[in-house]
Chain A
Amino acid sequence: MKILWNECWLEALRVFRNRYFIFWSLIMPIVFYVFYTKVMVQDVGDPKLWEKHLLMSMAAFSVMGSSIMTLGLRLVQERNQGWTTYLKTTPVSGAVYFIAKMAGQTSVHIFTISVIFTSGGLINGISMPAIEWITAGMWILIGAIPFLALGGLIGTMKKSDTASGVSNLIYLALAVTGGMWMPMEFMPKLLQQVAQWIPSYQYAAGAWSIIRGEAPGLVGILVLIAYTVVFMILSIQRRRMQEAI
């Protein structure tokens, strides 16, 4: 248990020392938020609701990004640099290492969600019942599991350059098609029709429901679970294949 805690703490510390993380996961979402609610205000009906809606989008955007990019890249790098091999000679089990990585990442997410919620709340004076803040935060935290699994899948890639390119691409594609940057109503018809099968849309939509006082839809939850299972099966298979050689 002590090992897990140490590993988790150090992992979180490493994430915070990463400039890319600070830029993409903390600064960018807040800059976007200010831009879309203060500078380029769109006509989306109820402005207060839009401010809350976009705040959820940005928190989800941030957490999704660090789930996909940080975790996956770390795994690839540590394997390529031999650190994973070194760990195999120590008493630490692979499972503890992996769980600690996940836990470290999750604690980082708790921090980013708090920062983004607080800054959004202050910038636009958003007020919501405490229960909505908390459930929305929990949803964004737990709903990130499929993206952590996706990060794990990217973590099976051989080269860190490929992994970095691919994860950036997937991240931005998911952000746009999930309606995190722009409401779905402004998107092409075709995209609107398939949106409910896109994990990032369902992820953000859960939070959007919560701030409207509704529960996240069952379809959305099932879609996210299905993606988690698929990503996990794929990465287990890839790992097996690599170990067989």
Chain B
Amino acid sequence: MTTIIDCMAVGKSFKGKSAVKDLSFQMKKGEVVALLGPNGAGKSTTIQMLLGLMEPSVGRVTISGQNPKLKAVRERIGVMLQEVRLLDTVTVKEILQLVRGYYPRPLSMEQLTRLTGLDESSLNTRTEKLSGGQKQRVSFALALAGNPDMLFLDEPTTGMDAIARKTFWKSIRELAERGTTIIFTTHYLDEVEVAATRVLMMNHGELIEDATPAMMKKKLGMQRISFLTDAVYRPETYQGLAATDIRIDGKKVTILTGNADHSLKILYALELEISEVTVNRGTLEEAYSQLTDSPEVS
């Protein structure tokens, strides 16, 4: 498989503060990479450097062996950036037609509306009148307009509702099956499992993990057991539950654990006065806080 994206010992500092340190990785054709990390980890800076929007302080980025700023590269990529507001006083259809015109082999309007789930009425709506989720759909359509071989998506699902999100990941999988190379950032662990073939994790500007989603899930897939209790138990009571974190908030107790089955078994064996036991998937933020709290993880 050919290397598409090559990030070679890249670093970036702003006013002496380093945002990305010695970052090296390669992406092969057809890979779908989830770039994860807590806020301020350097994900967006990395994406911007991959795209040539930001010049690395050290190191080099190539896309298909070329400078990312070249027109030949730009014709083959699609991009969703954070904090881009759509051009206003134009309808969705007008903006899509305009951007399709930038590329030599654009996707047809039919394909664009199908992949993004934009309906006829939103096509004729002015961009400033769209809801946040609809705007994200349009941004996605803009990213796909040129029928790209590579997609760079920085928090693509922010602001999308559940339906929009579902359509979005369905389309991403379809594109991945067609061989599109994709890199995205997200705050949702389930999105990583649904779409990614590989996970890169950053913290404090450094790459700290390069793994498969399954490995990552094991590492990060925290589960949250919560229950109510009228009795006031001391935190020590719950020792032995294999918990990574215990929070007591009045009657409500929350336990974070890597192995809920095991923890539950022990919890019931303690025969405590508890009710309303629920088990949830932990969030990525909770996993990050584990990571940042324990420096030995890297």
Question: Which of B16-24, B80-88, B166-174 is found at the contact surface with chain A?
Answer: B80-88
With A89-B74, A89-B77, A91-B71 known to touch, is A81 a contact of B85 (CB < 8 Å)? yes
Complex contact B101–A3 (CB within 8 A)? yes
The contact of A7 among B71, B77, B98, B152, by CB within 8 Å, is B98
Kindly state the separation between the CA atoms of A90 and B106 in the bound complex, as whole angstroms: 12
Residue of B nearest to A5 (CB): B101
Tell me the minimal C-beta distance from A164 to chain B in angstroms.
15
- Is A17 at the interface (CB under 8 A from chain B)? yes
A99 at the interface (CB under 8 A from B): no
Q: A41-82 CB contact bits vs B (8 Å, 1 = yes)?
A: 000000000000000000000000000000000000010011
Q: Quick one: given A6-B101, A82-B84, are A89 and B89 in contact (CB under 8 Å)? A: no
Which residue of chain A has the shortest Cβ distance to B76 in the bound complex? A91
Give Cα distance in the complex from A3 to B145, angstroms.
14
Checking A3, A7, A82, A93 against B85 with a beta-carbon cut-off of 8 angstroms, the contacting residue is A82
A92 at the interface (CB under 8 A from B): yes
Contact count band on B: 20 to 34
- Min Cβ gap A110→B in Å is 20
* Complex-state Cα separation, A90 to B89, whole angstroms: 21
Partner of A10 from B85, B94, B102 at Cβ < 8 Å:
B94
Contacts of B90 in A (CB 8 A): 10, 13-14
Task: Find the A residue at minimum CB distance from B82.
Answer: A82
Residues of A within 8 A of B103 (CB): 90-91
Q: Shortest distance in angstroms between A220's beta carbon and chain B's nearest beta carbon?
A: 36
The main secondary structure of chain A at its interface with chain B is: helix
Docked Cα-Cα span, A85 to B90, in Å, equals 19
Given A7-B98, A90-B74: A83 and B53 interface contact (C-beta under 8 Å):
no
Q: Interface size of A by Cβ–Cβ distance < 8 Å?
A: 21
Whether A89 contacts B97 by the Cβ 8 Å rule is no
Do A6 and B97 have beta carbons less than 8 Å apart?
Answer: yes
Asked if B51 lies at the interface with its beta carbon under 8 angstroms from chain A, I say yes
Chain A residues positioned under 8 Å from B79 (CB to CB): 86, 89-90
Across-interface contacts of A85 in B (CB, < 8 A): 53, 81, 84
The answer to whether A18 has its CB under 8 Å from any CB of chain B is yes
Write out the residue numbers on chain B whose beta carbons fall within 8 Å of the beta carbon of A91. Answer: 71, 74-75, 102-103, 146
Residues of chain B contacted by A240 (CB below 8 angstroms): none
Interface pair A17/B89, CB less than 8 Å apart: yes
**A2 at the A/B interface (Cβ < 8 Å)?**
yes
Selected from A18, A83, A93, the residue in CB contact (under 8 A) with B87 is: A83
Does B279 reach chain A (CB closer than 8 Å)? no
Docked complex Cα distance between A47 and B75 (Å): 61
A148 to B219, CA, bound (A): 58
Contact A89 B51 (CB under 8 A): yes
Residues of A within 8 A of B83 (CB): 82
When C-beta atoms are compared, the residue in chain B nearest to A82 turns out to be: B84
Contacts of A18 in B (CB 8 A): 89
A189: Cβ under 8 A from any B Cβ:
no
Closest partner residue, chain B, to A18 (CB atom): B89
> With an 8 A cutoff between CB atoms, is B99 at the interface?
yes
Closest A residue to B51 by CB, please name it: A89
A2 near B101 with CB under 8 A, answer yes
In the bound complex, do residue B81 and residue A86 qualify as a contact, i.e. CB atoms below 8 Å apart? yes
Query: Which B residues are in CB contact (< 8 Å) with A89?
Result: 51, 53, 74, 77, 79, 81, 152
Instruction: Please provide the chain A residues from 7 to 58 with a CB less than 8 Å away from any CB of chain B in the complex.
Output: 7, 10, 13-14, 17-18
Contact A90 B146 (CB under 8 A): yes
Residues of A within 8 A of B81 (CB): 82, 85-86, 89
Q: Is the CB of B99 within 8 A of A90?
A: yes
Chain B 5-47 interface 0/1 with A at a Cβ cutoff of 8 Å (1 = within): 0000000000000000000000000000000000000000000
Within 8 A of A (CB), among B54-111: 71, 74-75, 77, 79, 81, 83-90, 94, 97-99, 101-103
Q: Which residue of B lies closest to A86 (CB)?
A: B84
Task: Give Cα A78–Cα B88 distance, bound, in whole angstroms.
Answer: 9
B89 touches A14 (CB 8 A): yes
**Among B85, B102, B152, contact of A90 (Cβ-Cβ < 8 Å):** B102
> Can you list the 8 inter-chain pairs with the closest CB atoms, starting with the nearest?
A82-B84, A81-B85, A89-B79, A91-B74, A14-B89, A17-B89, A86-B84, A91-B75
Given contacts A6-B101, A7-B98, A89-B152, 6 further A-B contacts (CB under 8 A): A6-B97, A14-B90, A17-B89, A86-B79, A89-B53, A89-B81
- Spell out A's residues near B (CB within 8 Å): 2-3, 6-7, 10, 13-14, 17-18, 78, 81-83, 85-86, 88-93
13 examples of A-B residue contacts, CB within 8 angstroms? A6-B98, A7-B98, A10-B94, A14-B87, A82-B81, A82-B83, A82-B84, A83-B86, A89-B77, A90-B74, A90-B79, A91-B71, A91-B75
